[in-house]
């Protein structure tokens, strides 16, 4: 099926890994691609130019947050999220499903939930800002994303909590019914953006395959792998991908939701066949003083399995506040080409800024972490294309 305003084409493969070109209404994205998260219409501490200079080609915005504040109608009155935040490249929005369905459900020891109530028609939830009551239905979630003028809309889903098989099936079936309603609303609105369906099914292979079958049958522009431990645990993410990979259509992008806590997670996801991924971790970690260091190795090897992200530090990052960096004149990472490293900002200076809570720290640190993620994936793409 053809979709006005959206196209995806695989241009090279290497084992399960793919390099592709995705065309949206706001430009072309080369895949695989890491999407920085701009929850409230900003990648925290970075200007749109800062973000673009890291090489980022597409951003993620959060429907739940933007709906609550400042409200999608206000953003629409400014011409949509691109205009409002002054970012002219593609934007993907989540549906808010994860936020509203997890507002209370995932709290340990709780039988029910206290901020949200899920029924077959939608989710009623209370705002974390002021406690006011709101309701998302599949139609509403699509309408909000439409008003934001997002290029890629995500279907409204219930992120499957770890509550056993019966609940995983129930949540999956509800997500499937919601997907049909999201598709109908998306078609009714005729806005030439793309809608992606989300594969759920928890940590159960047969449910995952059943869900993949259903989502793929909807013949939407793209599909996503969500819920369960996808994104949280690299091994679980790989396992989930392996369960359904033989079912994926070759002409559609596959989005691994929430993947990318550290650079090696991206390497694993690309090897598993991911075309897109997002994570708040790079900017969140940067703000807490954790900065990625390391490098992709094995790019001169013909075997993709030999390609790895290697770092001398635990979890592929340094904690800049440590005393050992107090007089360290090196950049965060010797091999990094980001603005922060290329301009020679030293670890000692960054440590000083961090300890002083100087605002410049947040910008310099976030630029570096986002750049590391975006460019790790760009190098992998070059490897897949054979042009490294």
Q: Residue 336 interacts with Zn ion (CB under 5 A)?
A: yes
User: Are 17 and 250 in contact, with CB atoms under 8 Å apart?
Assistant: no
**CB closer to Zn ion out of 241 and 365:** 365
Does the bond joining 70 to the residue before it have cis omega, within 30 degrees of 0? Answer: yes
The distance of Cα 49 from the centroid of its chain, to the nearest Å, equals: 20
80-88, 231-239, 318-326, 336-344 -> range binding Zn ion (CB under 5 A): 336-344
What is the sign of the dihedral through the CA atoms of 250, 158, 102 and 84? positive
Tell me how far, at minimum, the Cβ of 331 lies from Zn ion, in Å: 6
Size of the site for Zn ion (CB under 5 A): 5
Tokens of 350: 């960054």
In what helix (H) or strand (E) does residue 286 lie, and over which residues does it extend? helix 281-287
Q: Is the Cβ of residue 18 or residue 368 nearer to Zn ion in the bound state?
A: 368
The only residue of 118, 338, 365, 373 in contact with Zn ion, by rule CB under 5 A: 338
Instruction: Assess 43 for contact with Zn ion (CB under 5 A).
Output: no
Tokens of 189: 């609105």
DSSP 8-class letter at 280: S
Alpha helices, H only, 105-252: 138-148, 165-189, 205-217, 234-244
Residues in 351-370 at the binding interface with Zn ion, rule: CB under 5 A: 368
Q: CA 107 to CA 131: how far, in whole Å?
A: 18
Tell me the catalytic residues. 94, 278
Output 127 or 346, the one with its CB closest to Zn ion.
346
- Closer CB to Zn ion, 12 or 379, in the complex: 379
Q: Is 141 in the site for Zn ion (CB under 5 A)?
A: no
Q: Which of 244, 341, 374, 384 binds Zn ion (CB under 5 A)?
A: 341
Residue closer to Zn ion, measured from CB, 211 or 340: 340
Using the rule CB under 5 A, is 286 a contact of Zn ion? no
Site string for Zn ion, 293-332 (x = CB under 5 A): ----------------------------------------
- 3-state DSSP call for residue 29? strand
Closest approach, Cβ 333 to Zn ion, in A, equals 5
CA distance 287 to 101: 27
Contact region for Zn ion (CB under 5 A) — 291-299, 305-313, 316-324, 340-348?
340-348
Instruction: Provide the sign of the torsion angle of the four alpha carbons 221, 227, 233, 237, taken in this order.
Output: negative
Of the pair 145, 283, the CB lying nearest Zn ion is at 283
**Rounded Cα gap, residues 258 and 30, in angstroms:** 19
Span of 59-67, 131-139, 337-345, 352-360 interacting with Zn ion by CB under 5 A:
337-345
Q: Return the closest-CA partner of residue 112 out of 120, 97, 103.
A: 103
Residue 26 binds to Zn ion (criterion: CB under 5 A): no
Binding residues for Zn ion (CB under 5 A) = 336, 338, 340-341, 368
């Amino acid at each position: 099926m053809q979709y006005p305003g959206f196209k995806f084409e695989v241009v090279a493969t290497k084992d399960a890994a793919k390099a592709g070109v995705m065309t949206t209404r706001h430009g072309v994205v080369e895949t695989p691609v890491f999407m920085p998260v701009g929850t409230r219409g900003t990648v925290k501490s970075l200007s749109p130019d800062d973000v673009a200079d890291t090489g980022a080609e597409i951003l993620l915005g959060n429907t739940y947050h933007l709906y609550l504040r400042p409200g999608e109608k206000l953003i629409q009155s400014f011409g949509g999220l691109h205009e409002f935040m002054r970012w002219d490249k593609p934007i993907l929005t989540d549906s808010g499903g994860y936020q509203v369905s997890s507002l209370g459900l995932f709290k340990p020891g709780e039988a029910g939930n206290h901020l949200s109530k899920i029924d077959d028609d939608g989710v009623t939830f209370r705002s974390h800002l002021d406690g006011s009551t709101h309701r998302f239905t599949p139609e509403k979630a699509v309408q909000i994303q439409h008003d934001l003028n997002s290029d890629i809309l995500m279907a409204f889903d219930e992120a499957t909590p770890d509550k056993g098989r019966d609940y995983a099936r129930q949540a999956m079936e509800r997500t499937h019914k919601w997907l049909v309603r999201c598709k109908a609303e998306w078609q009714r609105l005729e806005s030439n953006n793309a809608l992606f369906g989300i594969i759920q099914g928890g940590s159960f292979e047969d449910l995952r395959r059943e869900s993949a079958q259903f989502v793929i049958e909807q013949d939407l522009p793209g599909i996503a792998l969500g819920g369960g431990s996808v994104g949280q645990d690299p091994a679980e993410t790989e396992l989930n991908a392996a369960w359904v990979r033989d079912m994926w259509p070759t002409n559609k992008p596959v989005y691994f939701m929430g993947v990318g806590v550290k650079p090696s997670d991206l390497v694993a996801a690309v090897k598993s066949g991911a075309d897109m991924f997002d994570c708040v971790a790079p900017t969140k970690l940067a703000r807490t003083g954790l900065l990625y260091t390391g490098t992709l190795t094995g790019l001169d090897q013909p075997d993709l399995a030999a390609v790895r992200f290697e770092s001398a530090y635990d979890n592929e990052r340094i904690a800049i506040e440590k005393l050992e960096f107090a007089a360290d004149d090196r950049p965060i990472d010797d091999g990094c080409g980001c603005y922060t490293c290329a301009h020679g900002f030293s670890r000692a200076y960054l440590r000083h800024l961090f300890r002083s809570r100087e605002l410049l720290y947040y910008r310099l640190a976030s630029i570096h972490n986002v750049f590391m993620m975006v460019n790790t994936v760009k190098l992998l793409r070059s490897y897949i294309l054979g042009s490294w």
